[in-house]
């Protein structure tokens, strides 16, 4: 069997009295797209930096691409492509000049052909002379990705790469990620977008520095143990107030003219929802629990203050 691309155990990273990464253990298979999710400040970025050798863990061990994250940190950095949250290339250089600079850092040879092929592969050839600082968010994202993959890394770490870009650019970016994965590259990507998480082969959720749950999307939703109903029509405002007050209900979220109602005890939840629907002239139907509902369950226990 192929060895995992990432296998870490009990990682801890502290900054003074604050524990940013709290005994995180994770496994990512070779060629897999693994999602890394969690709220701001949850420890995602710090964990990724430990994995790629930029930070040394205070506790724990691990191997990434077969290399020890402590002893082989310098070798590891050359085997990984790391795309940071903020654009980290030079605004006052053109696209081509930025890629030439990165190619020289990696001592890529032949340099001219490598840059040319990278420009073509990411659809940047027509903009090669444009200053990076004048690019839109989507084109900056594409340039940053080009700089990360031009040395053909075996592992790509992407830290919230699509924040602030439009839906079309996000979709094109994910098509490129799946293409790279199909060619054997392993990808670990952090994101806040649930639709992006569902594009991953497996997902990992971290909160307050602790890994809360890992698995496929269906596995994570199943482990949450939630039931979801949609309520629509009738006196929907009254229905919302009644459901908010019902002890059987963990979450009520409006989606347009419908209510998304979630609870942990399926039988009691259904009874409460049917009762409210009949009283308010609304319609109730069983629905699929969303990934977002599951994550709220894991980090909050219920999803509303006091529940």
Q: What tens digit of pLDDT does each residue of 67-100 get?
A: 999 999 999 999 999 999 888 899 999 999 999 9
pLDDT digits (tens, 9 = 90+) for 281-306: 999 999 999 998 898 888 764 334 33
* pTM summary value: 0.88
Q: What is the pLDDT of residues 123-159, one digit of tens each?
A: 999 999 999 999 998 899 999 999 999 999 999 999 9
Q: Is 249 helix (H, G, I), strand (E, B) or coil?
A: coil
What average pLDDT does range 211-216 have in this prediction?
94
What is the set of domains in the chain, with CATH numbers? 6-215 (3.40.50.300), 222-300 (3.30.70.250)
The residues pairing with 286 across neighbouring beta strands, listed in sequence order, are 229
pLDDT for residue 302? 36
Taking each continuous run of H as one helix and of E as one strand, the counts in the chain are 11, 14
The CA-to-CA distance between both ends of the chain, in Å, stands at 45
Q: How much is the mean pLDDT over the chain?
A: 92
The conformation of residue 166, written as its DSSP 8-state character, comes to -
- Strand ranges (DSSP E) for 29-132? 33-37, 59-64, 67-68, 80-83
- Secondary structure E strands in the chain: 6-15, 18-28, 33-37, 59-64, 67-68, 80-83, 155-159, 186-191, 202-207, 210-215, 227-232, 251-255, 258-263, 283-287
Using DSSP, state whether 123 is helix, strand or coil: coil
Residue among 247, 245, 198, 243 at smallest CA distance from 33 = 198
Instruction: Supply the pLDDT for residue 1.
Output: 61
């Amino acid at each position: 069997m192929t060895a995992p691309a990432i296998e870490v155990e009990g990682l801890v990273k502290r900054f003074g009295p604050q524990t940013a990464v709290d005994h995180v253990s994770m496994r990512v298979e070779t060629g897999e797209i693994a999602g890394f999710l969690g709220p701001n400040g949850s420890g995602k970025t710090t964990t990724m930096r430990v994995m790629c050798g930029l930070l040394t863990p205070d506790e724990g061990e691990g191997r990434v691409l077969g290399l020890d994250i402590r002893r082989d940190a310098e070798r590891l950095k050359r085997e990984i492509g790391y795309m940071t949250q903020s654009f980290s290339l030079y605004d006052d250089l053109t696209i081509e000049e930025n890629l030439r600079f990165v190619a020289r850092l990696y001592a890529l040879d032949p340099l001219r052909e490598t840059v040319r092929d990278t420009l073509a592969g990411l659809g940047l050839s027509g903009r090669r002379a444009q200053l990076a600082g004048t690019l839109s968010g989507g084109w900056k994202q594409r340039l940053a990705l080009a700089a990360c993959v031009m040395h053909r890394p075996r592992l790509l770490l992407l830290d919230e790469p699509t924040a602030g870009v439009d839906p079309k650019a996000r979709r094109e970016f994910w098509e490129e990620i799946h293409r790279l994965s199909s060619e054997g590259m392993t990808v670990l990507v952090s994101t806040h977008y649930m639709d992006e998480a569902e594009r991953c082969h497996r997902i990992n959720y971290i909160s307050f520095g602790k890994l809360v749950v890992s698995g496929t999307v269906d596995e994570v939703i199943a482990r949450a143990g939630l039931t979801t109903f949609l309520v629509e029509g009738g006196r929907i405002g009254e229905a919302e107030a009644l459901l908010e007050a019902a002890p059987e209900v963990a979450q009520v979220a409006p989606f347009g003219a419908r209510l998304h109602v979630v609870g942990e005890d399926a039988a009691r939840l259904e009874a409460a929802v049917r009762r409210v629907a009949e009283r308010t002239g609304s319609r109730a139907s069983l629905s699929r629990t969303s990934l977002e509902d599951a994550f709220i369950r894991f980090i909050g226990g219920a999803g509303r203050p006091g529940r």
